[in-house]
C-alpha cells in the first residue's frame, strides 16, 4: 500500500516542526480497514494528550492532502489517519530508545533467528555500538544487532507504570460535560 520508510522520511520533519518526536509510522488493518498509524511524543514528557494528537493530525492531514492534490500522493487508495501516543508499553523503534528505557523489561522479536531464537525477553541493559543489550530472565546477557530487530516493545510492569505516570493528575477525577 505505501512505502513506510518513505512515509517516515516525509512525516518526521512535519512532526518535529511542531516540537514533537516521531516514534513510529505503521500501516495497520490490511485492505479491509487501512489505517496509517503515527505515534509521536513530546520529547520532554514522552507523552501526548488529546490536543497534541489533534495538532499533529491536522498538520499531517494538510501535508498528505497537499501531496495528493499535487498528484504526488504517497499512499495508494483510501485510509484512516490515526495519531496517538506510544502508550505505556511503547514500541522501541530507535537505537537510543534502548538507552532511554534501560532497566525496564522488553520483548524483542528478530527478523531472523539468533542463537536458535527469534524472540528475547528481559531487562534492557542499554546499547553498545549498534547492538542492544538485554539481561534475559534466565540470567544470560545478550547483545543483539539493532538492524536485526523486527519489532521491540516495553512490557507492562509496576516499575514502568511508575516511571511513566502522568506529570500532573490535576482534574483527572473531574468529568467535564459540554452543553449544546
Answer whether residue 173 shows pLDDT above 70. Answer: no
Residue 108, judged by CB atoms within 10 A of its CB (0-12, 13-18, 19+), counts as: buried
pLDDT digits (tens, 9 = 90+) for 23-40: 999 989 888 889 999 999
pLDDT for the residue numbered 164: 78
**Pick from 89, 78, 66: nearest CA to 163:** 89
Owner of C-alpha cell 531472523: 112
Position 180 scores a pLDDT of 46
Q: Given the C-alpha cell 546499547, which residue does it identify?
A: 127
CA dihedral 43, 45, 50, 54 (to 10 degrees): -10
Report the C-alpha gap between 137 and 89 in whole angstroms: 18
- pLDDT tens-digit series, residues 79-116: 999 999 998 889 999 999 999 999 999 999 999 998 88
Amino acid at each position: 500500500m505505501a512505502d513506510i520508510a518513505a512515509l517516515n522520511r516525509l512525516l518526521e520533519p512535519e512532526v518535529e516542526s511542531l516540537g514533537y518526536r516521531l516514534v513510529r509510522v505503521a500501516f495497520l488493518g490490511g485492505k479491509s480497514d487501512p489505517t496509517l498509524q503515527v505515534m509521536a511524543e513530546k520529547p520532554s514528557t514522552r507523552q501526548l494528550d488529546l490536543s497534541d494528537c489533534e495538532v499533529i493530525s491536522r498538520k499531517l492531514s494538510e501535508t498528505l492532502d497537499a501531496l495528493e492534490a499535487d498528484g504526488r500522493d504517497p499512499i495508494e487508495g483510501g485510509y484512516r489517519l490515526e495519531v496517538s501516543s506510544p502508550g505505556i508499553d511503547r514500541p522501541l523503534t530507535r537505537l537510543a530508545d534502548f538507552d532511554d528505557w534501560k532497566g525496564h523489561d522488553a520483548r524483542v522479536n528478530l527478523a531472523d533467528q539468533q542463537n536458535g531464537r527469534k524472540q528475547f525477553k528481559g531487562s534492557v541493559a542499554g546499547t553498545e555500538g549498534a547492538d542492544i543489550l538485554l539481561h534475559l530472565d534466565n540470567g544470560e546477557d545478550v547483545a543483539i544487532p539493532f538492524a536485526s530487530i523486527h519489532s521491540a516493545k516495553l512490557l507492562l510492569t509496576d516499575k514502568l507504570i511508575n516511571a511513566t505516570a502522568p506529570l500532573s493528575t490535576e482534574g483527572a477525577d473531574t468529568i467535564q460535560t459540554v452543553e449544546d
